[in-house]
Amino acid sequence: MSDRTRSRIARVLAMIPYVLAEGGATLDDLRDRFNYASTDALRKDLDIIFMTGLPGYGPGELIDVDIYDDEVVIESADYFSSALRLTGGEALGLLAAGSTLLASGDAPVALARAVEKLADAMGVQVDEEVIVEVPTPTGVATLREALADNRVVRLEYVAAATNESTIRVVEGESVFFSLGAWYFRGFCRRADADRLFRIDRVARIEVLDERYVPTAADAPASALYEPAADDYTVVFDVTPNARWVAEYYVVDSEERVGDGTVRVTMRVSDPMVAARLLVRLGVDATLVSGSEVTAALDELRSRLAARYGIVT
């Protein structure tokens, strides 16, 4: 990693908690406070922020960055509101994982330096033999037992970004490990569709007496976002500056429509997800179709205008 990249990452990681703590900040304030050479350079880093999030990397897992006139607001990033402090077990797990990658001979030099610094902080030797027992969430065993008996479960599920909990009654399909976490996939009666639940976000599990007939199809063991049949379809045009959208998100199609413009068709579980994306893209995106998204976009713009006292 170059010194420039390292400095850029450090600045972004410092900026996110600041904006969260203040409830928002102006572009001028952020540019001056974090020593950006220009507002354009600041905007490039803000573009990077809303392409990051938690494993799963679907629209609901990514950080929201809204820029309205001169005001910057960051949402869905509560996990940045306080500094990260590793427990002894977490640090040991990172050390063991990093050492394993180093032993493969394919690890980058930056990882070797990171492992060495972590080992120094823990007071251990990098080449010291360590036996690590990785704990499995208690909910995994409970859900596996319910799955084996075809028993319906009631979950209290907490969303990572908003910390809001909902009650879900689910007919299980699979329990699996992916992208560093355990997941439970099943038919959610509340959503009337298949849903994916990260088990460490389940606050409570109740196994009901009710049984169900399992589906014949095998559910994919993947934590990546998968569009559902009842998702909302949105079509929008993007300029060359925003063509990365078609590469970063799961899209149904992309079509060149002239002058470097690309027409993107994608599906979202909530129209507000697409509305937030379009607001962030600003002049680099134009909505073509999607009535539900149009309504969500109007609502979002009205909320932002009311929040900052802007007369439209």
pLDDT at 133: 55
- 309 or 50, higher pLDDT: 50
Mean pLDDT of 300-304: 79
pLDDT at 222: 59
CATH number of 284's domain? 3.30.70
Q: Are residues 76 and 99 in the same domain?
A: no
Lowest model confidence (mean pLDDT) among 221-225, 243-247, 256-260, 272-276: 221-225
Name the residue range of residue 45's domain.
Answer: 3-80
Q: Assess if residue 222 is contained within a domain.
A: no
CATH number of 41's domain? 1.10.10.10
pLDDT at 303: 78
pLDDT at 150: 94
Lowest model confidence (mean pLDDT) among 121-130, 232-241, 244-253: 121-130
Give how many domains the chain has, as a whole number.
4
Q: Are residues 198 and 155 in the same domain?
A: yes
- For residue 166, name the pLDDT band (cuts at 50, 70, 90): very high
Find which of 27-31, 63-67, 213-217 is predicted with most confidence, using mean pLDDT. 27-31
The average confidence (pLDDT) of the chain is 81
pLDDT at 161: 46
Q: Assess if residue 218 is contained within a domain.
A: no
Q: Assess if residue 312 is contained within a domain.
A: no
Q: Assess if residue 39 is contained within a domain.
A: yes
Mean pLDDT of 151-173: 86
Please count the other Cβ atoms lying within 10 Å of the Cβ belonging to residue 234: 27
Q: CB–CB of 157/204 below 8 Å?
A: no
pLDDT of 287 over the 90 cut: yes
Q: Assess if residue 111 is contained within a domain.
A: yes
Q: Which of 38, 37, 35, 40 is nearest to 14 (CA)?
A: 35
Q: CB–CB of 81/17 below 8 Å?
A: yes
